Amino acid sequence: MKITMLAYPGMTPLDLMGPLQTWTFWPGAEVQVVWKHTDPIMTDTGMAVVPTHSFATSFEQPEIVFVPGGTKATFELTQDEETLDFLRTKAKTATWVTSVCTGALVIGAAGLLKGYKATTHWAAKDLLSGYGAEVTDGRYVIDRDRATGGGVTAGIDFGLAMIAEISGEEIAKVAQLAMEYSPKPPFNSGTPEEASAETKKLVLEGFAASSA
Amino acid sequence: MKITMLAYPGMTPLDLMGPLQTWTFWPGAEVQVVWKHTDPIMTDTGMAVVPTHSFATSFEQPEIVFVPGGTKATFELTQDEETLDFLRTKAKTATWVTSVCTGALVIGAAGLLKGYKATTHWAAKDLLSGYGAEVTDGRYVIDRDRATGGGVTAGIDFGLAMIAEISGEEIAKVAQLAMEYSPKPPFNSGTPEEASAETKKLVLEGFAASSA
């Protein structure tokens, strides 16, 4: 199972790390983290990560292509023809094209979500519909050969779901137990429906600031 | 709020990334990711990360010290006097000494959990009690100036709890909504009590192999 995970400067690295760590418990998964080069790339946490491969040296025909999200950097990536071409090329032979959070906007911009049910970060759903996707509620959404996760932390649920979809539930359950994934959020504020109006306002203001 | 997060070769990076990403939504948090040097360090996912500071150049007196977990690399770190001395020195003036997953074994080995209620990855609880900690159930455990999270994914819950403890629930709720932390694990297999005997056996075998 050859997997190509895109990484890029300014990304939200938990979007990537959720499925990446989950897939360390997936027997047979061969994961490459790829960008245009293999120098360290800064993330929106202030910590840099190092791609394992460049576009040029990465898998010729990965079975899974994955794109993580972010804010300003991600919106800029939706205009980056080199990256969009790379994704379109890999998508031709990939079994799955996938994303977490606003990564969906990038595969959308590549034209890879037209007519597909898909999801993204709650605050980016309107943007996603602009790419011809049928925006759908769900922690993750699987529609034929596309799988898209919600915002940031949804990458763990998405990662487990992909293992289950491809290799069966028993393997996914082992990964879940290995990562002690029995989440207990201390508050009930994880969706715009659950959060207070004031909390939602503050998040939207923060996103506007980090997207400018 | 000066925060020193340890990183080290072979660590499980989601242990670090959970709280690191969560704390990007914590106004006033200044986070350094530190190791003996600032060259890229390989993690157990196959992707390297880059420390922002070395032990020598990191905060003189951080308010929070944090240690992530892993398997073999973490057990080896419990014998590494340079690291244990660094942690003991920072702990003298820190307001909080904290960990996620088997990171608790490292702060335990530094003598920093004696007489404290603490937790760790479910498969490492026996080891933790060997360091004089009072092993306690909980997604995270806060006892006076110590805060310890359970296995891997518990870092997100831990990260939110620390924000709430120090800066109040309203700030933590904003972080939770920004990260869309409304987890929906696809299976009920996140704890040894919930998982099947066969799943538990497979995880324990995997840990034994990755710890050797």
At residue B1, the pLDDT reads: 95
At residue B177, the pLDDT reads: 97
Q: Which residues contact B101 (CB under 8 A, 6 or more apart)?
A: A180, B12, B15, B68, B69, B70, B120, B121, B124, B149, B150, B151, B152, B154, B155
How many residues in chain B?
212
Q: Which amino acid is at A185?
A: P
Q: Are B50 and A50 in contact (CB under 8 A)?
A: yes
User: Could you say which of A24, A180, A196 has the minimum Cβ distance to residue B153?
Assistant: A180
Kindly report the nearest CA distance between residue B45 and chain A, in angstroms: 6
Task: List the catalytic residue out of B7, B49, B101, B162.
Answer: B101
Scanning every residue of chain A, which has its alpha carbon at the shortest distance from the alpha carbon of B24? A45
| Backbone torsion region of residue A182, taken as left when φ is above 0, otherwise alpha when ψ lies between -120 and 50, otherwise beta | beta
Enumerate residue ranges in chain B where pLDDT < 70: none
Q: Which residues contact B20 (CB under 8 A, 6 or more apart)?
A: A14, A45, A47, B5, B31, B33, B159
Kindly report the nearest CA distance between residue B169 and chain A, in angstroms: 8
Domain coordinates of chain A in residue numbers? 2-181, 186-212
Angle between helices B13-22 and A13-22 (to 10 degrees): 150
pLDDT tens-digit series, residues A156-168: 999 999 999 999 9
pLDDT tens-digit series, residues A31-53: 999 999 999 999 999 999 999 99
What is chain A's mean pLDDT, rounded? 97
The domain A2-181: what is its CATH number? 3.40.50.880
At residue B58, the pLDDT reads: 98
Scanning every residue of chain A, which has its alpha carbon at the shortest distance from the alpha carbon of B49? A49
Give me the mean pLDDT over the A178-201 stretch.
95
Percent above pLDDT 70 for chain A:
100
What's phi and psi for A49, nearest 5 deg?
-125, 165
A101 is catalytic: yes
Position of tokens 């994961």? Answer: A31
List alpha helices for chain B, DSSP H: 13-22, 72-77, 81-93, 103-109, 125-129, 154-167, 169-178, 197-211
User: Could you say which of B180, B185, B195 has the minimum Cβ distance to residue A150?
Assistant: B180
pLDDT tens-digit series, residues A63-102: 999 999 999 999 999 999 999 999 999 999 999 999 999 9
At residue B212, the pLDDT reads: 83
> Do B180 and A152 make contact, defined as CB atoms within 8 angstroms?
yes
User: How many angstroms separate the CA atoms of B10 and A211, rounded?
Assistant: 34
Give me the mean pLDDT over the A110-121 stretch.
98
Asked whether the CA dihedral A99, B159, B1, A17 is positive or negative, the reply is: negative
User: How many angstroms separate the CA atoms of B160 and B156, rounded?
Assistant: 6
At residue B211, the pLDDT reads: 86
Confidence of residue A212 (pLDDT cuts 50, 70, 90): confident
Confidence of residue A211 (pLDDT cuts 50, 70, 90): confident
Q: What is the pTM of this model?
A: 0.96
At residue B156, the pLDDT reads: 97
Report the helix count and the strand count for chain B, using DSSP H and E: 8, 11
Give me the mean pLDDT over the A178-187 stretch.
94
Sort B62 into a burial class: Cβ within 10 Å, 0-12 / 13-18 / 19+. buried
